[in-house]
Structure formats: structure tokens, C-alpha cells
């Protein structure tokens, strides 16, 4: 009787499908490439304005001399948006940038150090180079607030527009995307003195961390 039971168990084991012993190759849903939906993205990088004036280190008769770039200073940004497709997203962004050692006017009352607060609408498009790795371009535009203003009596408000080019990698971590952005900015101030342009050109380089909800 025992021998018969052993034969029955052996026959059941041999009749089991081979696929039951093969390792699974299914990809978890959270690891799918090209997730869409609401997202949060944060940036923290360096920012520099083009042009400006600084104090003459040699102490010449001129109160200030021109310079090509401001000192590199930190910039922080937050983007909230929605990816409608794998390739198209829309959102709103808030960014704070700092400019050091680059006054916008020769007037001694014009600050050499100031901040730019930008609130923008953001439209992005992307295409994949390979799985998980994509190039992304973003157009943005909105309002600018310069603090302090170019001169104490000047209006600190203006508008801005710009373009960001970046590379993004969709990690194996659930819903996480990392990357690097190179951005260019044109800030147009509504009020500027005669010896200063209304435009402040600038650029930034910033790592990006994005979380898709």
C-alpha cells in the first residue's frame, strides 16, 4: 500500500507543468516606463546673470566696472504638474534665484546683490533615447519680482520667459525620475533707469528629482 502511494506522488510530481518551475519575467507595474499623471519636481542648482556692474577692485575713479557674468549663486525651484502622455506635460513652477556682484545700473544706489522670484506656466515635451532615458525640452513664462529693485524708487515687477533642456532617467525606484536641466531666462523689468536695460539674461544648471503621484 505504501509503495502504491509513493508511485502516485511521483507521477503527480512528474506531470506538473514545466512552467511552474520557471522563474517569472513579468515586470512590476510600478516599474513601467513612461508613467503619466500628477507629479512634483524639485530643482536645486547654480544660477548666474549675464552682464552687470561690480566695484572696481583696483579702486579707479570709476565707481563700477562692467562684468560679463555674475557670481554663481544658488537657485531653488518647485514644479507641480500633470503628464498627459509619455511625451507631454503641463504645470506651474515657482523658482527663487540669487544674483551676486552684478548691479544692473552704475548708480551707487543700485544693489549689487538681489533676488529674482519667478512664477511661471510650464509646457514640456520629451522623446526617449533608450528605455527609461529621455531628452526633455520645456518652455516657460510668467511673472518676475526683483528684490530689492534696481533703484529704491523703481518698480520691482516684470515678466519672464525661457527654455530648459534636460536629460531624465526613470529609475527602478517606484515613481521616481532624476535628471539634469540647463535653463536660459529672459527677465523683462517694467521699470529701469536710463543706464540699464530692462532685460536681465541669465542661465542655470540644476539637478532634478521628480515624483509621479
Position 87 scores a pLDDT of: 87
Alpha carbon 111 to its chain centroid, in Å, reads 28
Alpha carbon 144 to its chain centroid, in Å, reads 17
Other CB atoms within 10 Å distance of the CB of residue 133: 13
Inter-CA distances, 98 with 32, 139, 211, Å: 38, 21, 26
10-residue block means of pLDDT along the chain (213 residues)? 48 49 46 76 97 76 82 97 91 97 90 96 95 95 96 94 96 92 97 89 98 92
Spell out the domain ranges in the chain. 2-212
Other CB atoms within 10 Å distance of the CB of residue 180: 15
Dist CA 191 CA 145 (whole Å): 12
Facing residues of 32 across strands? Answer: none
Report residue 147: phi and psi, to 5°: -130, 125
Dist CA 209 CA 213 (whole Å): 13
DSSP state of 103: B
Position 58 scores a pLDDT of: 65
Dist CA 42 CA 178 (whole Å): 10
Inter-CA distances, 196 with 110, 136, 184, 199, Å: 10, 34, 20, 9
Position 11 scores a pLDDT of: 54
Inter-CA distances, 166 with 18, 133, 144, 182, 202, Å: 47, 11, 23, 6, 17
Q: Tell whether pTM > 0.85.
A: no
CA pseudo-torsion sign 185, 204, 95, 39: positive
Other CB atoms within 10 Å distance of the CB of residue 1: 4
Strands (E), 6-132: 37-49, 53-55, 64-66, 73-83, 88-99, 114-130
Alpha carbon 148 to its chain centroid, in Å, reads 25
Position 187 scores a pLDDT of: 97
The highest-level CATH class for domain 2-212 is mainly beta
Amino acid at each position: 500500500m505504501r509503495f502504491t502511494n509513493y508511485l502516485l506522488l511521483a507521477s503527480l510530481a512528474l506531470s506538473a507543468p514545466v512552467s511552474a518551475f520557471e522563474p517569472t519575467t513579468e515586470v512590476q507595474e510600478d516599474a513601467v516606463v513612461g508613467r503619466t499623471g500628477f507629479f512634483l519636481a524639485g530643482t536645486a542648482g547654480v544660477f548666474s546673470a549675464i552682464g552687470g556692474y561690480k566695484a572696481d577692485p583696483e579702486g579707479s575713479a570709476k565707481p563700477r566696472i562692467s562684468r560679463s557674468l555674475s557670481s554663481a549663486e544658488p537657485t531653488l525651484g518647485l514644479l507641480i504638474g500633470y503628464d498627459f502622455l509619455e511625451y507631454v506635460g503641463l504645470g506651474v513652477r515657482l523658482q527663487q534665484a540669487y544674483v551676486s556682484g552684478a548691479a544692473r545700473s552704475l548708480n551707487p544706489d543700485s544693489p549689487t546683490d538681489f533676488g529674482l522670484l519667478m512664477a511661471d506656466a510650464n509646457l514640456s515635451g520629451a522623446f526617449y533615447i533608450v528605455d527609461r532615458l529621455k531628452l526633455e525640452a520645456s518652455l516657460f513664462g510668467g511673472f518676475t519680482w526683483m528684490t530689492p529693485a534696481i533703484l529704491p524708487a523703481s518698480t520691482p515687477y516684470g515678466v519672464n520667459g525661457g527654455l530648459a533642456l534636460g536629460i531624465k532617467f526613470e529609475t527602478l525606484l517606484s515613481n521616481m525620475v532624476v535628471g539634469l536641466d540647463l535653463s536660459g531666462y529672459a527677465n523683462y523689468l517694467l521699470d529701469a533707469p536710463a543706464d540699464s536695460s530692462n532685460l536681465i539674461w541669465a542661465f542655470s544648471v540644476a539637478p532634478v528629482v521628480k515624483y509621479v503621484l
